[in-house]
Structure 1
Amino acid sequence: MNAAEQILTNARLILDDEVCLGSLKIRDGRIAGIDDTPSRHPGALDCQGDYLMPGMVELHTDNMEKYFQPRPKVAWPGRPAALAHDAQMAASGITTVFDALSIGDVDEQSMRHGALLDMVDSLQAIMTDDMARIDHRLHLRCEVCHPETLSRFEALAGSPLLGLVSLMDHAPGQRQFASLEAYRTYYQGKYRFSDEALEAFIEKQLANSVLYSSAHRRAIAEACQARGLALASHDDATIEHVAESVEYGTRVAEFPTTREAAEASHRHGLAVMMGAPNVVRGGSHSGNIAAEELVRLGVLDVLSSDYYPAALLDAVFRIAGMAEGYPLPQAVATATRTPAEAVGLTDRGRLAPGLRADLLRVRVVDDHPLVQRVWCAGRQVH
C-alpha cells in the first residue's frame, strides 16, 4: 500500500441495498475497491465494527448565515465566519453542502442583503485557496415576492459555485402561511409589531406578492433551465402548486406542507425533501405535515439539516429505527445518494468503486449515531 492509498477494514459498509462487514480501499481521493471480507493488510485502519457510509450531501441549510450574523445587527468577518461554518459541517458528517443564501427578505431591517456578496465571496475564497475541509456549493433561496429579487438573482447567477436555486413565497396567505392567523402570530412574535404596524406590514407584503411573485417565479425558472441549474420548489401545499413546479422543471420539492403536495411531488418524480429537525423533534415546528408520516407513506426522498446540522445524521438513523421506517441503506440514501442525484452530482453519495471517497465512520452508542471520522475526497477532515 503506497502513501496515496488507505484501507479501512472491519467496517459495516452501508451499500446501496445491504450492509456487510468488510473493507474499503481509497486511492487518489477515490474509492478504489470494496471487499465483503476484512482486510489483512498490516497498515489497514481497523474501524472496530463501526458503520462506514457515504459522506452526507446537504442541499438546504442556512447555517452559514448564523456565523456571519451571530447576533442581531452584529456582522462577523467573512473568511473566519465561513471557515467556522465549514468546520461544523465537517464535524456533522456533511461532506458536500449547498449553502443556502437568501435573496430578498420581508424584514427591511435584515442584514441578509448586505452580507450576501460577502458570504458568496468568502465561500469562493476558502474553496479557491483550498482552506475548506469539505465541498461547498451555492444554493440561492429566491423570495419571489421581493421587488429586487430578480435583479439580485441575475447578479449572482454566473457564480461558479451556484448549483441549486429555490423559489419561495412567504407572503401572507401563501404556502407555509396559508393561514393569515398563523402569519400574524409568527410575524408579530418575531418582529414585535403593534397591531397597527402588523396590518400595514401584511398589506405591503400582499401588494408585493401580486406585483412580483408570478413574474419573478417564471423568469428565474426559465433562467435556471437555460443555465442547467437545478431548481427547487419551497413549501408547496396544493396539487396546483405541484403542477406549477413540474411545469417549471423543478427537481426538488423542499418541505411540502401537506400530504397531498408531498405525494403528488413524489409521483411526478420530484425528490421530496423534509427537514431532519422535523424527524428528531417528532413534527413540524410550524404545524405542517410530519416527516415521519411521509416516511410511512414511502414518499420522503431527501433529508436536510435545515437549521441544525447535527440533526441530519440523527434523523437518518431515526427513520431506520422506526417501526414503519426505511431499511438502513434506504435511510442513508436520503442524505447521500438521492440528494446528490437530484442536483446532478453523479460522482458521490454511494460506496462504489470510482466514486469520490467522501466517507463517514459512525458508531452507534445508546441508539445514538456518533461521528467518529470523516473523509472528503480521501482526506480526513474530522
Structure 2
Amino acid sequence: MRVEIRGGRILWPDGTIEEGSLAIEGGRIAGPTRATGFSAFHVIDARGLLVLPGIIDLHGDAFERQIMPRPGVEVSLAVALQETDLQMVGNGITTAFHAITYSWEPGLRGGLMTRRLKEAIASQRGRLAADTHVHLRHETFNLDAVDEVAGWLDDGSIRLLAFNDHTPDIHRLIDQPTKLQKYAERAHLSVGDFRALVSRVWARRDEVPATISRLAKAAATARVASASHDDDSPEMRRQFHALGCTICEFPKTETAALAARDLGDPIVLGAPNVMRGGSHTNAIGASTMLARGIGDVLASDYYYPSLLHAAFRLAREGVLPFAKAWDLVSANPAAAAGMTDRGSIRAGARADFVLVDDEQPALPRVAATLVAGRPVFQADRQLAAGF
C-alpha cells in the first residue's frame, strides 16, 4: 500500500522539526515528498500534528492486569492480548516487548502461564497491530527451566532476555506470613505450602551463577539482547557486562547506573517514574538522573500511556530538548534491542509513526498510529478518506 503523510511537523534524525510530507511504500519510508508530487492511494492529513517515530517499549507488563483483572479472576489470553494491543497502539506504541516473568512460582508467573502466553502471542501475531515480541524475565532461581529457556533462545521465540532475582527478597519474608500472603495468593498456594517451596528453592542458591552464565552465552550466540534487572551495585553491573549482558534495566542505585554509563551500557528507566514526577517505591528519580546524563531508554513498566507523557514532560520542564526526550522512547530502545530498521524517520526504515496532537502541551494526545505503513489507530479527527 502506498501512503502519503501530508503536512505534518516531522521530527527528523538530526533533531529538527519541520513541516513536510512523507511517502510510504511497501511498509517502508520512501522519503520526503511534495504534497502535489506523489500519487498515493491513501493520503493522511497531518496538518497541525507532530509526526514522530513510533514508540518502542522494551519492557511492558501491564498486560498482566488484562489477564487477571482481579486476584484469582483470569480471562482468555487471546482477549487479554487483543485488549492490550489496542491500548498500546492507542498510546503510540508500535513495537512492544511483553515482559513475561518466568519464575519458580506457579500461577500468573509460572511455567504453564509462560508457555501459554508465548503460544498466544505467536498465534495472534498476524492479528496484533503492534509489532509484538517476547521479553522473557527469567528468575535466576528458576533452575529447572534453564534448558527450556536455552531452547527458546535458540529457536528465536525470545527477542530480549532479562535476568531477574527477586528470590532473596521473598526469602527474607519467610517468617512473616502476613507479608508472604500476597506472593502465596499469586501462586495459588497456601502460605504454608508457599513457604516450603521458597525453602526448597533457596537451598539450591549455589547453582544459580553457573546457569546465569550459560543463558547469557546462549543469548549472545542467538544474538538476543540481554539485560540485568534491578542492579544494586557497580559490581553487579560489571559482572553482567562481562557476561555480554549489556542492558542495565531499572538500576536500584545511582552507583550502579554510573557504572553502566562508564561501560557504555544502555540504562533503562521507568517512564511512570518520569510521568509521575518520582518513583512509587521511593527509588531513584528518573528525571533527576536524565538531567545529569544518566539514562538512555524509558520503558512503560506497568503503565503503557507513560511513555508518551514522560517524553513530553521531560521536554516541557526543560530536562531535555524534545528530540532527545523522544529518542528515549524510539531511537535508543531500537539501538539497545539491536533493531536497526526502526526508531527514526529516514528513508528505508520501517514506516512506524505516531501522529500527536500537542495543542495542549501538558496533555499530548495520539491522533493516529501507523505500523509498517498501515494505519492501526485513529482518534476522532478525520485524517483520511477510508482510513
For Structure 1 versus Structure 2, the TM-score category normalised by the shorter chain is 0.7 to 0.9
**CA contact under 8 A between 1:188 and 1:198: conserved in structure 2?**
no
In 2: Cα distance, 1:245 partner to 1:297 partner: 24
Residues 201-224 of structure 1: CA distance to partner in whole angstroms, max 9, x if unpaired?
797388357234322211211111
In 1: Cα distance, 2:327 partner to 2:177 partner: 37
**CA contact under 8 A between 1:145 and 1:208: conserved in structure 2?**
no
2:270 matches 1:275: yes
| CA apart distance, 1:80 | 2.2
Q: Secondary structure of 2:235's partner?
A: helix
Q: Secondary structure of 2:245's partner?
A: coil
Residues 57-115 of structure 1: CA distance to partner in whole angstroms, max 9, x if unpaired?
1111112333333332333223222222222211111111111111114x455464322
| CA apart distance, 1:154 | 3.0
- 1:1-382 to structure 2, matched below 5 A, reads 4-16=1-13, 17-34=15-32, 39-40=35-36, 44-105=43-104, 107-110=105-108, 112-127=110-125, 130-172=126-168, 187-188=179-180, 190-191=182-183, 204=199, 207-208=202-203, 210-323=205-318, 325-366=319-360, 367-382=362-377
Q: Secondary structure of 2:20's partner?
A: strand
1:77 partner letter: S
In 2: Cα distance, 1:184 partner to 1:373 partner: 49
Q: Secondary structure of 1:280's partner?
A: helix
Residues 295-349 of structure 1: CA distance to partner in whole angstroms, max 9, x if unpaired?
11112100000111111111111111223x1111111111111111111111111
In 2: Cα distance, 1:22 partner to 1:186 partner: 60
Question: Residue 205 and residue 86 in structure 1: after superposition, are their counterparts in 2 closer, same or farther (change >3 A)?
Answer: farther
Question: Residue 248 and residue 205 in structure 1: after superposition, are their counterparts in 2 closer, same or farther (change >3 A)?
Answer: farther
In 2: Cα distance, 1:189 partner to 1:320 partner: 42
Residues 164-209 of structure 1: CA distance to partner in whole angstroms, max 9, x if unpaired?
0000111336xxx99x69x97994473489xx97995797388357
Question: Residue 223 and residue 305 in structure 1: after superposition, are their counterparts in 2 closer, same or farther (change >3 A)?
Answer: same
How many residues were matched structurally? 366
| CA apart distance, 1:288 | 1.5
- Percent identity between the aligned chains? 30
Question: Residue 347 and residue 109 in structure 1: after superposition, are their counterparts in 2 closer, same or farther (change >3 A)?
Answer: closer
Q: Secondary structure of 2:81's partner?
A: helix
Residues 340-368 of structure 1: CA distance to partner in whole angstroms, max 9, x if unpaired?
11111111110001111000000124321
In 1: Cα distance, 2:243 partner to 2:305 partner: 33
Q: Secondary structure of 2:74's partner?
A: coil
User: Mean Cα displacement is larger for which, 86-95 or 68-77?
Assistant: 68-77
Question: Residue 122 and residue 220 in structure 1: after superposition, are their counterparts in 2 closer, same or farther (change >3 A)?
Answer: same
Which runs of 5 or more structure 1 residues have no equivalent in the other structure? none
In 1: Cα distance, 2:114 partner to 2:198 partner: 27
Q: Secondary structure of 1:133's partner?
A: coil
TM-score (norm 2): 0.86
In 2: Cα distance, 1:263 partner to 1:71 partner: 39
| CA apart distance, 1:242 | 1.1
2:347 partner letter: P
In 2: Cα distance, 1:186 partner to 1:294 partner: 35
Question: Residue 29 and residue 376 in structure 1: after superposition, are their counterparts in 2 closer, same or farther (change >3 A)?
Answer: same
**CA contact under 8 A between 1:62 and 1:307: conserved in structure 2?**
yes
In 2: Cα distance, 1:375 partner to 1:205 partner: 49
Question: Residue 109 and residue 359 in structure 1: after superposition, are their counterparts in 2 closer, same or farther (change >3 A)?
Answer: closer
In 1: Cα distance, 2:109 partner to 2:167 partner: 20
In 1: Cα distance, 2:157 partner to 2:201 partner: 33
**CA contact under 8 A between 1:104 and 1:148: conserved in structure 2?**
no
In 2: Cα distance, 1:308 partner to 1:346 partner: 26
Residues 213-260 of structure 1: CA distance to partner in whole angstroms, max 9, x if unpaired?
322211211111222111111100111011112101123111001111
Structure 1 vs Structure 2 CA RMSD: 2.8
**CA contact under 8 A between 2:101 and 2:109: conserved in structure 1?**
no
Q: Secondary structure of 1:97's partner?
A: strand
User: Mean Cα displacement is larger for which, 96-105 or 230-239?
Assistant: 96-105
In 2: Cα distance, 1:265 partner to 1:375 partner: 34
